[in-house]
Chains A and B, each alone.
Chain A
Amino acid sequence: MTRRLMLWLTGSTILFWILAAGLGAFVMREEFDEVFDSSLQETAERLMPLVVDDLFQRDSLDEPRRVASGSENDEYLTYQVRDAQGTVLLHSHDAQPEPFDAPLRRGFSDTATQRIYTVDAVSGTIFLQVADNLEERREAMTEGLLSLMLPIVLLVPLSMVSIWYFVRRSLKPLGALRREIGARDGGNLEPMAVDGLPVELQPINISVNRLLERLRTALEAEREFASNSAHELRTPIAGALAQTQRLIAELPAGPERSRARAIEASLSALSHLTEKLLQLARADSGIGASTAPVDVMAVIQLVAEDFNRMSEHAGKLELRLDGIQEDAPFLRRVDADALGIILRNLIENALLHGDPDGPVSLTISADGTLTLANAGHVVPQPQLGQLTKRFKRNNSSAPGSGLGLAIVDRLARQMGAKLMLASPARGREDGFEAELSLPP
């Protein structure tokens, strides 16, 4: 926009200048002609008596006489004195000896190279013709035009610089506004406050702020809904599961008890799927983006403790610190809940699909990389890229909802983290590895 403004402004300035110069030249030419003509006529009228006087005091000669000039300078005006037959009687030293190609009649006449003024005396027997070289006039004209055009050469770059400067200056608030709008994303929906915004731009600021406000309300409502539905869905499932487990405990061994166990298994599966769908709903409501830093280690320790307390997974998850001080805070700009969901899913996957006897290691590096590696079969390359799609599983007979990595992928994108899946795990011949690079 800056460039286009500059181009148009400079272009039109030059165009108008040329137009003005052209008009000036036209007027100047008229005026020049008038001045030159009147001086030509004046010279002729003044010269005439002198010439007549001179002629009568001399004897007539066959050869036309040449009047010596006082100086050796080129003459602007030349003249010839001719008789009624056209024979040249006298001419100035620069004038041609041949008669001028002009009729012997009082007044102006033009030849190819000269403008001539003719006067007569002694009852039309002696004519004086004063000639003005058109070349000279053209030269004067050209010089005049040049002096009009010269400023353009100087003024064009000057006006370009000043236009550039003023355009830049007046577009500055627009740039500030653009940067402010550019800074808004899922994590930053704060209203914009741009100082010194011109009146023309204020409506944009107000509209964008109104839009941000609506977006924030909508997102908050969605988050609220995801969190409320979590409670509303979990409570009845928890009730049904607990009652079923009581039923199993109270029933004698037999077909009724097996049936109750089948209900319990279904409820567990339902509970797991609900869990994943709620996590997905949370991810869709954009909880990943965050502007406040949290202590990543605190989140990791809490999640790790959860898994270590589950009897079937106890002692399997191994935490490794790589270059991290025990007491220095390990802060990263992520959402604690989103990071918790990511870690839970990655660890759950490793425990579920990895070698049941092999350990699962979570390495935390000082550069903000969390690497989860487990032993187990290799996931073929083509399937690896599909794993982050919803309801895609490497092995459809294996347990799991097929949502875990899709949730992880989505949340990682929101928090600006990079997720890399590799199989076999690096430095091994088998297994699976997930690497999450947290933003600073």
Chain B
Amino acid sequence: MRILLIEDDKTIGGAVRDHASADAHAVDWAMSLTDARGFADVAAYGLVLLDLQLPDGSGISYLRDMRSRSDTTPVIVLTARDQISDRIEGLNSGADDYLVKPFDLGELSARIHAVARRYSQQSAPQITIGAITIVPAERRISRDGEPLELTAREWAVLDSLLSRPGSIVSKARIEDALYAFGAEIESNAVEVYVSRLRKKLGAETIATVRGIGYRLAAS
């Protein structure tokens, strides 16, 4: 997988780059947001490792920028900010995962691996969650073998949940997926579509994570 590492600390950045390379990933290392934008313009990445305090700005604003451009590349935030409020801000800005410094390189490998697995799962022909079978490429979904009909917006919500099965997807991120339709969105649109999906897929398939977002049951 091709990884964009955005980190201004040479010691950490060097170790992370070497470690990810040793795990057979291709790593591009940007030491500022300007460099990162330059890299992202010319290459497509499977994952972004993002530090939050960078010399030319905040990683959060870079992340928001990405999400507002409907860029759904998975992002793992690497930061020294460990407070709950920072975490909530990170998740609401569209981060897929959050790793607090100092972290264990083994743990970082595990998180990258998890994202990579999801990444490959998305391209996998078939995903099974309990009694639900989903074939994303063909927009086919069935429950106990019975085919289900989903509207385009319900697919959009399901897609955003599928990007991180088993992990929290923030409400803001699901909202972004709905905004992509360009139509006006009611303030409770996410709740409405999630509850419709629950009716079709079964209530246990999507768990509510209070105050933050939703989580799709792991396959």
Contact = CB atoms under 8 A, between A and B. Distances in A.
Nearest to A278: B82
A299 B84 contact: yes
A242 interface: yes
B15 A327 contact: no
A234 B53 CA distance: 13
Contacts of B210: 295, 297-298, 301, 329-330
Contacts of A235: 9, 12, 80, 101
A182 interface: no
Interface string A305-342: 10000110000000000000011011000001101100
A310 B100 CA distance: 13
Contacts of A238: 9, 12, 80, 101-103
A336 B84 contact: yes
B88 to A, nearest CB: 7
A230 B84 contact: no
B84 A303 contact: yes
A330 B100 CA distance: 27
Contacts of B167: 305
A242 B83 contact: no
A163 interface: no
Interface stretch (A115-123, A243-251, A355-363): A243-251
Contacts of A329: 210-211
Contacts of B209: 298, 301
Contacts of B16: 242
A230 B212 contact: no
A236 interface: yes
A246 B101 contact: no
Specify which of B16, B82, B210 lies most central, judged by the most chain A CB atoms within 10 Å of its CB: B210
A204 to B, nearest CB: 36
Interface in A231-289: 231, 234-243, 245-246, 249, 267, 271, 275
Contacts of A311: 110
Contacts of B43: none
A231 B86 CA distance: 13
B208 A327 contact: yes
A230 B81 contact: yes
Contact of B12 (A242, A294, A336, A339): A242
A245 B105 contact: yes
A241 B16 CA distance: 11
B105 A242 contact: yes
A194 interface: no
A295 B110 contact: no
Contacts of B84: 299, 302-303, 336-337, 339-340
A236 B85 CA distance: 23
B50 to A, nearest CB: 15
B9 A239 contact: yes
Interface in B179-219: 208-212
A246 B105 contact: yes
A39 B144 CA distance: 131
B117 to A, nearest CB: 14
Contacts of A267: 102
B81 A243 contact: no
B87 interface: yes
A231 B81 contact: yes
B71 to A, nearest CB: 25
B15 A236 contact: no
A246 B18 CA distance: 8
B11 A242 contact: yes
Interface in B75-130: 80-85, 87-88, 100-107, 110
Given A230-B80, A249-B19, A337-B85, A239 B11 contact: yes
5 contacts: A231-B81, A249-B105, A302-B88, A337-B85, A340-B83
Interface of A: 227, 230-231, 234-243, 245-246, 249, 267, 271, 275, 294-295, 297-299, 301-303, 305, 310-311, 326-327, 329-330, 336-337, 339-340
Given A236-B11, A242-B15, 4 more contacts: A230-B80, A235-B9, A235-B12, A337-B84
**What are the 5 tightest A-B residue pairs by CB atom distance, in nearest-first order?**
A298-B211, A239-B11, A242-B15, A340-B84, A238-B102
